[in-house]
Structure 1
Amino acid sequence: MNETSTLWQKTKHFFHLFIPVFITQISLFAMSFFDTTMSGHASSADLAGVAIGSSLWIPISTGLTGILLSVTPIVSQLNGAQKHKEVAPFVMQALYLSVAVAAVVILTVLFAVPFVLDNMRLEPKVHDIAHRFLMMLCFGFVPMFAYNVMRCFIDALGKTRVTMLITLLSLPVNISLNYLLIFGKFGMPRLGGVGAGIASAVTYWFIFLVAVYIVHTRQPFSSYRIFERLYAVSLPVWKDLLRLGVPIGFAIFFETSIFSAVTLLMSRFDTVTIAAHQTALNFASMLYMTPLSLSTAMTIAVGFEVGAGRYRDAKHYSWLGIGIALAFAAVYSVVIFVFDEAVVSIYTTDPAVQTLARQFLVFAILFQASDAIATPVQGALRGYKDVNAALIMTLIAYWLLGLPVGHVLATYTDWAAKGYWIGLISGLAFGALFLLLRLIHVQRMQQRKPLSS
Structure 2
Amino acid sequence: MTDASLAGRPAAPWRTILRQAWPILVSSWAGIVFAVLDTAMVGHASAADLQAMSLGASVYITVFVGLMGVVHALIPIIAQHFGAGRLREAGRAWGQGVWLALLLSALGGASMLFPDVWLSLSGDVEPEVRRRVAGYLIALALALPPALLFRTIYATSTAISQTREVMAINLGSIVFKLLFNVWFIFGGLGLPALGVVGAGIATLAVNWMMLAAGLWMIRHRRAFRALAPRLERPRWADQKELLRLGLPMGGSYLIEVCAFSFMALLIARDGLYVSGAQQILANLIALAYMLPMSLSLATASLTAQAVGALDPALARRTGLSGIGLVALGALLTGVVLIVGQDAIVRAYTDEVRVAAIALTLLQIAPWFHFWDAMHCISAYILRAYKIALVPLILQVTALTGLGLVGGWWLGYGPAAGALAPLASRLMPGAPVGAATMWIMAMLGLLLSALLLFTWYGHVLRRQARGA
TM-score computed with the length of structure 1 as normaliser: 0.88
SS in 1 for 2:310: coil
1:81 to 69, 81, 84: 84
Q: Tell me which residue corresponds to 2:116.
A: 114
Distance in 1 separating the partners of 2:261 and 2:370: 21
Distance in 1 separating the partners of 2:274 and 2:49: 14
Q: Does residue 389 in structure 1 map to residue 390 in structure 2? A: yes
Retained in 2: the 8 A contact 1:20–1:161?
A: yes
Retained in 2: the 8 A contact 1:409–1:415?
A: no
Distance in 1 separating the partners of 2:206 and 2:251: 26
Q: How far is the alpha carbon of 1:138 from its aligned partner?
A: 1.6
Q: How far is the alpha carbon of 1:270 from its aligned partner?
A: 4.7
Where does the alignment leave 5 or more consecutive residues of structure 2 unmatched? 418-430
Q: Does residue 259 in structure 1 map to residue 272 in structure 2? A: no
Q: How far is the alpha carbon of 1:154 from its aligned partner?
A: 1.7
Cα deviation 1:264-308 (Å, max 9, x = unaligned): 444556555444433331221111111111121111111011111
Distance in 2 separating the partners of 1:223 and 1:319: 30
Retained in 1: the 8 A contact 2:9–2:16?
A: no
Distance in 1 separating the partners of 2:253 and 2:290: 14
Retained in 2: the 8 A contact 1:30–1:171?
A: yes
For residues 233 and 8 of structure 1, do their structure 2 counterparts lie closer, same or farther at Cα, with a shift above 3 Å needed?
Answer: closer
1:31 to 18, 21, 34: 34
For residues 29 and 92 of structure 1, do their structure 2 counterparts lie closer, same or farther at Cα, with a shift above 3 Å needed?
Answer: same
Distance in 2 separating the partners of 1:185 and 1:176: 11
Q: How far is the alpha carbon of 1:223 from its aligned partner?
A: 3.2
For residues 395 and 270 of structure 1, do their structure 2 counterparts lie closer, same or farther at Cα, with a shift above 3 Å needed?
Answer: same
For residues 57 and 428 of structure 1, do their structure 2 counterparts lie closer, same or farther at Cα, with a shift above 3 Å needed?
Answer: farther
For residues 20 and 37 of structure 1, do their structure 2 counterparts lie closer, same or farther at Cα, with a shift above 3 Å needed?
Answer: same
Distance in 2 separating the partners of 1:443 and 1:126: 53
For residues 278 and 36 of structure 1, do their structure 2 counterparts lie closer, same or farther at Cα, with a shift above 3 Å needed?
Answer: farther
Moved more, 326-335 or 302-311: 326-335
Cα deviation 1:163-191 (Å, max 9, x = unaligned): 11111111222233344555668886555
Q: How far is the alpha carbon of 1:245 from its aligned partner?
A: 1.2
Alignment of 1:45-60 (within 5 A): 50-60=53-63
For residues 79 and 7 of structure 1, do their structure 2 counterparts lie closer, same or farther at Cα, with a shift above 3 Å needed?
Answer: closer
Q: Tell me which residue corresponds to 1:10.
A: 13
Retained in 2: the 8 A contact 1:318–1:380?
A: yes
Q: How far is the alpha carbon of 1:219 from its aligned partner?
A: 1.1
Aligned length: 447
Q: Tell me which residue corresponds to 2:333.
A: 332
2:442 to 422, 425, 428: 425
Q: Does residue 222 in structure 1 map to residue 225 in structure 2? A: yes
Alignment of 1:8-407 (within 5 A): 9-39=12-42, 50-111=53-114, 113-121=115-123, 124=126, 132-182=135-185, 193-227=196-230, 230-266=231-267, 268=269, 270=271, 272-407=273-408
Distance in 1 separating the partners of 2:382 and 2:432: 36
Q: How far is the alpha carbon of 1:102 from its aligned partner?
A: 0.8
* Bigger relative CO (Cα 8 Å, ≥ 6 apart): 1
Distance in 1 separating the partners of 2:17 and 2:101: 29
Retained in 1: the 8 A contact 2:59–2:112?
A: no
Distance in 1 separating the partners of 2:203 and 2:361: 27
Q: How far is the alpha carbon of 1:440 from its aligned partner?
A: 1.2
AA partner of residue 164 (structure 2):
R
Cα deviation 1:71-122 (Å, max 9, x = unaligned): 11111111111112222332111101101101111111222x4223233236
Identity fraction in percent: 29
Retained in 2: the 8 A contact 1:296–1:379?
A: yes
Q: Does residue 439 in structure 1 map to residue 456 in structure 2? A: yes
AA partner of residue 404 (structure 2):
L
TM-score computed with the length of structure 2 as normaliser: 0.86
Distance in 1 separating the partners of 2:265 and 2:109: 21
Moved more, 218-227 or 15-24: 218-227
SS in 1 for 2:432: coil
Moved more, 122-131 or 68-77: 122-131
For residues 308 and 223 of structure 1, do their structure 2 counterparts lie closer, same or farther at Cα, with a shift above 3 Å needed?
Answer: closer
Aligned-CA RMSD value: 2.9
For residues 277 and 56 of structure 1, do their structure 2 counterparts lie closer, same or farther at Cα, with a shift above 3 Å needed?
Answer: farther
Q: How far is the alpha carbon of 1:251 from its aligned partner?
A: 1.7
Where does the alignment leave 5 or more consecutive residues of structure 1 unmatched? none
Retained in 2: the 8 A contact 1:284–1:364?
A: yes
Q: How far is the alpha carbon of 1:134 from its aligned partner?
A: 3.5
Retained in 1: the 8 A contact 2:18–2:295?
A: no
Distance in 1 separating the partners of 2:336 and 2:48: 29
Retained in 2: the 8 A contact 1:312–1:448?
A: no
